[in-house]
Amino acid sequence: MAAPSRCNHLIMFDSSLMIYLYGGQVIFWENDYQEQFLFVSRKASFKPPKAIRGGIHICFPQFGSHGLLEQHGFARNRIWSVDENPPPFPATTSNCHIDLILKQSLEDLKIWPHRYEFRLRVALSPTGDLMLTSRIKNINEDGKPFKFRFSYQTYFLVSDISEVRVEGLETLDYLDNLQNGERRTEQGDTVVFESEVDKVYLSAPPKIVIIDHDKKRTFELRKEGLPDVVVWNPWDKRAKTIPDFGEEEYRCMLCVGAAQVEKPITFRPGEEWQSRQEISVVPSSYSSGHPDPEIVHRI
Ligand SMILES: O=P(O)(O)OC[C@H]1O[C@H](O)[C@H](O)[C@@H](O)[C@@H]1O
């Protein structure tokens, strides 16, 4: 039997702003000047159904190795279908979207014995914001609840990682995956990058910003229904161990994503869980409300 092909979709607004989906994964997102915002590795292998190194991975029902399933769960490595007739979604400012759906396959039931409907809406606003809404419903017929972790693993394209800083995570507690998940507290006024990082920030605020000095642009990430934020950059040594990632590519990417990692969600049949992640790109004149440490230093 031939391998199933991925369903690929292009979402455009006014023939300029654009998102491109490969299966259930957003891989391109650009503005009307054809500037790319998401990183996709030059070594990415487009071999369905495995997720592509870059874009946005939907990690479900597991995050990382917190469980018995494959790393980050199976959802990112599955063929999603177009949901032709989704139940009404909460009102958004966008009328330019696509609805996808993932359900358990017979194979998946052997490794995760639960029935679910995972509805994903990928939307583009008139101003170019990328909005992801997930609704997951437990449809088990045996009355059993299920438990899951979740993340929108987002590969941002940056100019030079050493010129990037993240605001909104300072002073928060985090789990450090490089130290066996040890709990620590972020020190310093802002998060900057000088070596490998693999952290889960806990109870993060609803908005965080990723400021790219060189590119003179800022990503503003807003989240709902997801308390945590995952931050990952493999840096040079780890990068060499990842087959579909270029040795030097760690310099131009940063993974940041809204997530539910520390406390898994549990819910019963008939219940539905919902979360959102929205990203806007704003020019360098953007002010996060925090003083710029460089300016403060010069004064
Ligand atoms: O290589 P992947 O399975 O896509 O995972 C890439 C990275 O994702 C997350 O951010 C994890 O915390 C990391 O430990 C992991 O290395």
Domain spans, the chain = 8-298
Give the distance (Å) from ligand 1 centre to CA of residue 73: 11
Distance, CA of 220 to CA of 282 (rounded, Å): 7
Give all strands of the β-sheet with 146-157 in edge-to-edge order: 8-13, 17-22, 25-30, 56-59, 146-157, 253-267, 228-233, 197-201, 173-176, 182-185
Here the ipTM equals 0.98
User: pLDDT confidence of 290, banded at 50, 70, 90?
Assistant: low
CATH for 8-298? 2.70.98.10
Residue 7, pLDDT above cutoff 70 = no
Kindly report, residue by residue over 87-128, the tens digit of the pLDDT. 988 766 666 898 999 999 999 999 999 999 999 999 998 888
Give the distance (Å) from ligand 1 centre to CA of residue 233: 9
Give the distance (Å) from ligand 1 centre to CA of residue 196: 12
Cβ-contact 216, 286 below 8 angstroms: no
Sequence-distant (6+) residues with CB within 8 A of 99 are 82, 83, 84, 86, 89, 119, 120, 121
Residue 132, pLDDT above cutoff 60 = yes
Beta-bridged to residue 228, according to DSSP, are 259
Half-sphere exposure of 183 (CA within 13 A, CB side): 6
Q: Ligand 1, closest atom to CA 76?
A: 4
Pocket of ligand 1 (CB under 6 A): 64, 71-72, 153, 177, 198, 230, 232, 255
